[in-house]
Structure 1
Amino acid sequence: MAQSFLEHVNFNVADAPATAKWMCDLFGWKIRWQGPASNGGLSIHVGTDDNYLAIYTPEAPRPRHDNPRGEVANLNHVGIVVDDLDAVEARVKALGYTPFNHADYEPGRRFYFNDENDIEFEIVSYD
């Protein structure tokens, strides 16, 4: 069977440039591509040479009124592996986000935070 891997995930945000900036600042990622996208929107691909998040802002974004995580076809969270969990948590706090749900578990440690779009991120380190 041919090998496969996850290349990217695409999701909507209110301000793609602002979201891409904090992701680059927090994770040391780069903008791989950016430009006009469907329906008058803007898309920015931010990540590494191997994988990325496609951040899309529609021409007329509408806020989400709730986050029904128990419903089918809903984004639960985005998991990011880092080398130094404590350093990343300090940067998360410096960006104004509030870490929560810290846990040590086999095989690593983790915490979560929500960004300004109410997207939940799980930050994990496998020490």
Structure 2
Amino acid sequence: MTATLEHTNFTVRDPKATAAWMRDVFGWKTRWEGAAIAGGYTVHVGSTHTYLALYAPENPRPAGESSYDTVGGLNHVGVLVDDLDATEAKVRAAGFKPHNHADYEPGRRFYFDDDNGIEFEVVAYD
């Protein structure tokens, strides 16, 4: 059996607000939410088998460096969609600005940064 990525955990300012735009843009569902073990609050948003854990500590601090320059940094999150143009419209409606559009094998894509400074790559395989 091949391993499957089950979840990834991000620190965000407001897990409920982040989960809300992800539900609107990507069609995901909130799977669970509640108090985090070490304090703070967590929302799990995604599909039946995979999700993002959105965690906010009691006293969050913004990142100070580019993740691309930091060993172990999160550079971007790739999300596969069926309809790239419709998803881009939803990204814009959520208040984010798409950039770096590209069309190369194996598909078309664009990027956007959310309000937490997390970069997303949205890709569709035609």
Displacement of 1:103 in angstroms is 0.2
Q: Distance in 1 between matches of 2:5 and 2:59?
A: 29
Report the equivalent of 1:18: 17
Q: Does 1:126 align with 2:125?
A: yes
Displacement of 1:64 in angstroms is 1.8
Q: Distance in 2 between matches of 1:68 and 1:43?
A: 22
- Residues 82-91 or 58-67, more deviating: 58-67
Gaps of 5+ in 1: none
Letter of the 1:103 counterpart = A
Gaps of 5+ in 2: none
Identical aligned pairs, as a percentage? Answer: 60
Give the structure-1-normalised TM-score: 0.95
Q: Distance in 2 between matches of 1:44 and 1:68?
A: 23
CA deviations 1:75-111 (Å, max 9, x no partner) are 0000000000000001111111110000000111000
**C-alpha contact 1:39 1:59 (8 A) present in aligned 2:** no
Report the equivalent of 1:32: 31
Q: Distance in 2 between matches of 1:39 and 1:48?
A: 25
Displacement of 1:3 in angstroms is 2.8
Q: Does 1:75 align with 2:74?
A: yes
Displacement of 1:4 in angstroms is 1.4
CA RMSD of aligned residues (A): 1.0
Letter of the 1:61 counterpart = P
Paired residue total: 126
Displacement of 1:73 in angstroms is 0.7
Q: Distance in 1 between matches of 2:116 and 2:54?
A: 12
Q: Distance in 1 between matches of 2:93 and 2:10?
A: 24
Q: Distance in 2 between matches of 1:125 and 1:79?
A: 10
Give the structure-2-normalised TM-score: 0.96
SS for the counterpart of 2:38 is helix
Displacement of 1:12 in angstroms is 0.3
- Residues 78-87 or 33-42, more deviating: 33-42
Q: Distance in 1 between matches of 2:123 and 2:53?
A: 21
Q: Distance in 2 between matches of 1:97 and 1:68?
A: 19
**C-alpha contact 1:31 1:46 (8 A) present in aligned 2:** yes
